[in-house]
Structure 1
Amino acid sequence: MPPGPGSGAGRSEFRGLFEVLRNEVSCAYAARVTRPRALIFGVSGQDGPWVARDLGNAGYEVFGTHLTQLPPDGVVTRSVALDLMDEQVDVRGLIERVAPRIIVFLAGRSSVAESWKDPAGTMTVNAASYARILDAVRDIDPTIRVVHASSSEMYGDTEGIIDESTSLRPNSPYAESKAVAHRLGVEARERNGMNISNAILTNHESVRRPLPYVFRRISVGAAALALGLIDELVLGDLDVIRDWGHAPDYAQAMALMALAPEPDDFVIATGVSVSLRDVVASALACVGLDDRWDLIALNPALARSGSSYPVWANPDRIGRTLGWKAHDAATSVISIMVTHDTEVLSDQGRRSDVLLRLG
């Protein structure tokens, strides 16, 4: 089992990375690397491996941090266990020793529902730790390019289509923490001339998304229904409307932002919003259970409080500026995930753990 956050083993691994880097670099800061380096905070999450892949393909040597779960093999040169709740962690020292030209901040808490249980912790991880990173970058080398994974949740129940000019209206601890970090980046760029960009991400999903996030719950549930492993799939509010994209597409957008010559803020979205009801219908159709709504049960307790507002987003600006466009929207993403989860659940060795987490 990997060392827990803040554990002695985790701290030892952190110090160990410093020693390795200290031994391999002995020149001045600007001259001590042959390939440009990127540092991804939170490289083992849903988006991190794909951002690492894209930056690696662009010629960067990629380093990362993780909490407890190691990134997939071959994703980064090295990754170190790092708990951003621990204010004693030497973030400045890590940046000095890695000497990155690019930093991507993907670390933090991403669940709106969980943020209500620990608002202070959510603010610490998502905003205060990011502020420490910005302080370090300002002092070490303000030309380092930083990309922050922001969120469309910052706009709350805004009516109409959101874009980069839409006013922020956060309505959850998670959204508040993202709004604070977002504004910190904007201020650092405008006041101090730092190279900070915000990727304003709408919901995005993939086979790396863990349960109990609703998209993964739907994909696993549809596969389990088709295989006769469960009798019904229990969900919450199916009338929620969101712009759901595919995580590899969104990772590509963040990599493009990191490689862009000028910093900027961009809405990352597909431009197509659908309801969860549409997603469930597509998932059932993928496994030959078209219109089998008798297999779907609703439990209001699973509905996320305060999320009934629709989200419509306009990604045109990043398309015009960086040439990015999403390849997959919600219905094709759920098809990819259902196909994957059907294969996983067909393997008896992996089946029990997945079904246990489905509940």
Structure 2
Amino acid sequence: MRTALVTGVSGQDGSYLSESLLAAGWAVHGLVRAASAAHEQPIDPRVITHTGDLADEARLRAVVADVAPDVIFNLAGVSSVAQSWQQPVLTAELTGVAAVTLLDAAWQLQEASGTPVRFVQASSAEIFGAASQLPQNEDTPIRPVSPYGAAKAFAHHAVGVYRARGLGASAAVLYNHESPRRPETFVTRKITRGAALIAAGQSDTLMLGNLDARRDWGWAPDYVDALIRMAEAPEADDFVIATGRAHTVREFVAAAFRAVGIEDWQRHVGLDPRFARPSDAPEMCGDASKARELLGWQPSVEFDELVARMAAHDLAALRQ
């Protein structure tokens, strides 16, 4: 039986990943915080949990040594670009430095045991920042424009450093991926829940920031499938995971309202400059050709269906 250690196991991706690994017969260990947050997902009772703080280097190393996993999936850290502007130092510690701690702990475990250890890092399209290349691929220059992107870029480079050292470390450059498990602090879930509230007669207005930002949105379980494929691939490498199609926030809003039966969404949506970020990448769209060719991966859910699933979930929850 293969053993996986998943950081961020109570997040959107961590919950889907642990379920998939358990279904495939893996033993799954998860790193959890001492105090859970309201937006965290329930953890499958079959997951063996270990309490730890990403800022506690000694504890992270101890967990890796105790679990002795075949694969470490590092999904934890500050996951919001907006939050990273509010807490840039914390973001650097939890999203950047902690990844290096885990990489080094994995390498030390491999050296001590003589058994290969794989490492899969959840990188982000935010490492590309205001990329002049469209779509972006694995060779696109890394030049982030937010504290979150900078922290992810540091961790991304560290993956390459440890891969060169002999660790089977891979980085998944994940583009935006959503599901009903996405916390409401993210604009996508804010939109689908806002549309559902208006459709249910419990609200009249949804306030948003920049409607012109373009993003490449995919279905979260598809992206988790890519992480597993990377862990099982013959060679460790970096892969862009994306749909290859970008849509504006405005299109996301229209799709969400359409899914709950409202066509004239404009009269319900207002703009608030407080929700605008200090700096925002104008368009993110990824080229996942390498993942398709070497991993056999491809997205399975189209944009409109993705938004409709999220909106339907939120509307059903309100009606219950």
How far did residue 76 of structure 1 move? 4.1
Q: Which one of 219, 231, 238 corresponds to residue 246 of structure 1?
A: 219
Q: SS in structure 2 opposite 1:238?
A: coil
1:143-172 Cα distance to aligned partner (Å, 9 max, x none): 200000000000000122100011101111
Query: How many angstroms apart in 1 are the aligned matches of 2:11 and 2:278?
Result: 25
Q: Does 1:84 align with 2:58?
A: no
SS in 2 for 1:90: helix
Task: Classify the secondary structure of the residue corresponding to 2:210.
Answer: coil
**SS class of match (1:131):** helix
CA RMSD of aligned residues (A): 1.5
Q: Secondary structure, in 3 states, of the residue corresponding to 1:53?
A: helix
- Taking the aligned partners of 2:72 and 2:275, their CA distance within structure 1 comes to 36
- Kept in 2: contact 1:243–1:330 (CA 8 A): no
Give the Cα separation in 1 of the matches to 2:260 and 2:60.
Answer: 47
In the alignment, which residue of structure 1 is the partner of 2:29? 63
Q: TM-score, normalised by structure 1?
A: 0.83
- 1:235 is the counterpart of 2:208: yes
Work out whether residues 52 and 75 of structure 1, in 8 Å CA contact, stay in contact via their aligned partners in 2.
no
Equivalent residues in 2 for 1:1-359, closer than 5 Å: 35-67=1-33, 68-69=35-36, 72-74=42-44, 76-87=46-57, 89-141=58-110, 143-159=116-132, 160-190=134-164, 192-307=165-280, 309-347=282-320
Residues 214 and 59 (structure 1), Cα distance of their counterparts in 2 relative to 1, 3 Å cut: same
Cα distance, 1:56–1:127 mapped onto 2, change above 3 Å: same
* Gap change, CA 1:141 and 1:163, over 3 Å in 2: same
Greater Rg over alpha carbons, structure: 1
Classify the secondary structure of the residue corresponding to 2:4.
strand
SS in 2 for 1:158: coil
Q: Give identity over the alignment, percent.
A: 39
Contact 1:240 1:309 (8 Å CA) reproduced: yes
- Aligned partner letter, 2:155: A
**SS of residue in 2 equivalent to 1:180:** helix
Aligned equivalents of 1:82, 1:266: Cα separation in 2: 29
Aligned residue-pair number? 311
Contact 1:253 1:268 in 2 (8 A): yes
**AA matched with 2:9:** V
Is this contact kept in 1: 2:91–2:148, CA < 8 A?
yes
Structure-1 separation of matches of 2:123 and 2:282: 19
- Structure 1 portions without partners, runs of 5+: 1-34, 348-359
Amino acid at match of 1:182: H
TM-superposition CA deviations, 1:83-102 (whole Å, max 9, x none): 11234x42222112212101
2:202 alignment partner, SS class: coil
Alpha-carbon distance between aligned partners in 2 of 1:234 and 1:165, rounded to the nearest angstrom:
37
CA offset at residue 231 of structure 1? 1.2
Report Cα offsets for 1:116-154 as digits up to 9, x if no partner: 222211111111111111111111115200000000000
Comparing 97-106 with 48-57, greater Cα deviation is found at 48-57
Q: Secondary structure at the match of 2:12?
A: coil
For 1:209, what is the secondary structure of its paired residue?
coil
Deviation of 1:72 after TM superposition, in Å, equals 2.6
Distance 1:254 1:154 in 2: 18
Contact in 1 for aligned 2:53/2:59 (Cα 8 Å): no
Q: Distance in 2 between matches of 1:294 and 1:168?
A: 39
Q: CA deviation at 1:302?
A: 1.2
- Residue 71 of structure 1, CA deviation: 5.2
TM-score (norm 2): 0.93
Spell out, residue by residue over 1:162-203, the C-alpha distance to the aligned partner (whole angstroms, 9 max, x if none).
00011101111111100000000101111x111000000011
Structure 2 portions without partners, runs of 5+: none
Q: Give the whole-Å Cα distance in 2 for the aligned partners of 1:77 and 1:281.
A: 38
Q: 1:298 to 1:98 in 2, by over 3 A?
A: same
The alpha-carbon deviation at position 308 of structure 1 amounts to 5.2
Mapped partners of 1:76, 1:113: distance in 2: 33
